Structure 1
């Protein structure tokens, strides 16, 4: 590749006259996050910045690889290429491995497949380092370290190592990225500056990071900004990328941390004393912050679980699937907190985004889908959260969603009129013999609207009978 051929070529310094740009914004590691980039650039301009220095890694994990490259190539931005960008251009393939390597490969492939020829040419034109002179100060911008774009420098990098790098940098100031950690350190008269990551912070703080360098005093101001993280996460989902990529942004952590935490959650849920029952109580507590009618949700939960148990001969699902159904029933109406319109979709969004829920990424899609389908449309492959599931899990979601639809219909009046029911399974029908305490006109109407999915998955007609409780 051309980039490798020019790896050791001499880079002539760019001269910036003293006072020409009093404030220079330093950015790095945008990682295809257009939402964060727009927020950072708008904020910097509002602070009087006209020139940006970009330490690389345009691409990776985000939904907008081409848009980010186009924006940074057309604005007043001086850029170098990052290690991730180089891997995408090389069409690097991850060695066979576990789920985490597969997801990293998905990110590489998505970035490469969604770059225009113009963006590819621009990235190929970039050098691995840039030298700049501002007045009597010399700057070196590299992605990782002066010796390797793969070397992460952090606030905890040893002073001995920074001293070694200072001796080979040939600059007063070294601007770096790659580690996603904001810091400024001075060693042997050389100042190392890392602005942090614009688009993929991984220190537990999900805000976008950048820095502003004052070219008069050479003071560095480190900045963290709130931005539309949920919008960026939704864009990842709409691009059919793994949910873990969205969770990285929502939590402000790395993909490795996501996988480590999910493994811990799976192990924890396998322990009886910390299993499903304890997690359900935690979920109910969180749901109370959002659900305007928790009594209705408790009724739906009771009825849905009773349907699950009494129909076990037809579905052959186990405790894990029962847990998904229970969680979905508890959470199916939390979307009302965002307004009545499309509250089922809002419930899904909250299940995907609320970090307090003790769910893995897979569980968020499964439980969120079941909750979302408690009303309106049946499961469809045009819905990103359903399409992302395996065929086996799609079938499970259809079954469990059909149960929650019936349970919700049985409490359409939110009055808990159905106190109990008997269930009879025949070759061509399922009969619910419901014992009720009051008028069921709303319930009867609702069941007629909601029963189609149930009848499809059990391959039987649903008959509901109402009996006044003596």
Structure 2
């Protein structure tokens, strides 16, 4: 079984379209949350994910943009984008986002896998360091947990007393590129596919991952997309200019 794993699309239609075109064939699409927020195409992105995803977990921006939570904890730029997104979305799309479950959720027939947004222990937790990863790896009880939220592609793993982190090793900055992780036996993983719509690892390309249950691999991918159009949509919507500029910077 091949699962296409997406996270943190953040209303970036151009990046999502590039990912779907580059992903090839897949059996299921798993969405790890934050479909909206920041980007200027919330309705188009929600409609695509609604039609394609077999499993969804909500993100913190999804929660705020559909009205389930307040934007008080957001910085001014994120708050402005969330309020615009709430008003821009159709009632049908807001209602759908409001019904997306909180993680963790498990794919049917794959008991060793869990999907979450921030962490299987707390949907809003940022797992940035090994210190952050220690609790979820110890307490999740599953072999593989796919997470998003940080917008950083890579992850953490634990085998007996050995702990390590990993990041894809890419050689270019403007082309489609892949990096494959072979999953070891008796090892627990926290794996982040990266952000489709707003990467923060200084690589502007859209990020995604493919999990292959038969090959026991996770293939990380980066794909260029029509950045100028995505930036133009943000500016035309009169969203904060910073949201357009940071797309080029990948941060």
In which range does the TM-score fall when normalised by the shorter chain?
A: 0.7 to 0.9
- The answer for unaligned runs of 5 or more in structure 2 is 160-186
Q: Distance in 2 between matches of 1:199 and 1:145?
A: 20
Q: Secondary structure at the match of 2:9?
A: coil
Q: Which of 90, 110, 117 is matched with 2:68 structurally?
A: 90
* C-alpha distance after superposition, 1:183-233 (max 9, x if no partner): 132214311110000000011110000001111022011000100011100
Tell which has more relative contact order, 1 or 2 (C-alpha 8 A, sep 6+): 2
**1:166 and 2:137 correspond:** yes
- 1:54 alignment partner in structure 2: 31
Q: Secondary structure at the match of 2:112?
A: strand
- 2:153 alignment partner in structure 1: 182
**1:116 and 2:90 correspond:** yes
Whose Rg is larger?
1
- 1:227 alignment partner in structure 2: 225
CA contact (8 A) 1:57 1:84 kept: yes
Q: CA deviation at 1:76?
A: 3.8
Question: What does residue range 376-455 of structure 1 map to in structure 2 within 5 Å?
Answer: none
CA contact (8 A) 1:133 1:139 kept: no
CA contact (8 A) 1:58 1:68 kept: yes
Q: Which of 62, 81, 87 is matched with 1:107 structurally?
A: 81
Stretch moving more, 68-77 or 214-223? 68-77
Q: Distance in 1 between matches of 2:203 and 2:153?
A: 12
Q: Distance in 2 between matches of 1:77 and 1:199?
A: 20
Q: TM-score scaled by structure 1?
A: 0.45
Q: TM-score scaled by structure 2?
A: 0.83
Q: Which of 108, 111, 130 is matched with 1:157 structurally?
A: 130
CA contact (8 A) 1:91 1:109 kept: no
Q: Which of 99, 102, 121 is matched with 1:125 structurally?
A: 99
CA contact (8 A) 1:91 1:112 kept: no
- How many pairs does the alignment contain? 222
More strand by share: 2
CA contact (8 A) 1:132 1:138 kept: no
* C-alpha distance after superposition, 1:158-189 (max 9, x if no partner): 3xx43421232131110100011111322143
Q: Which of 2, 25, 28 is matched with 2:4 structurally?
A: 25
**How much is the aligned-residue C-alpha RMSD, in angstroms?**
1.8
| Structure 1 segments (4+ residues) deviating >6 Å | none
- The answer for unaligned runs of 5 or more in structure 1 is 1-21, 254-470
Q: Secondary structure at the match of 2:221?
A: strand
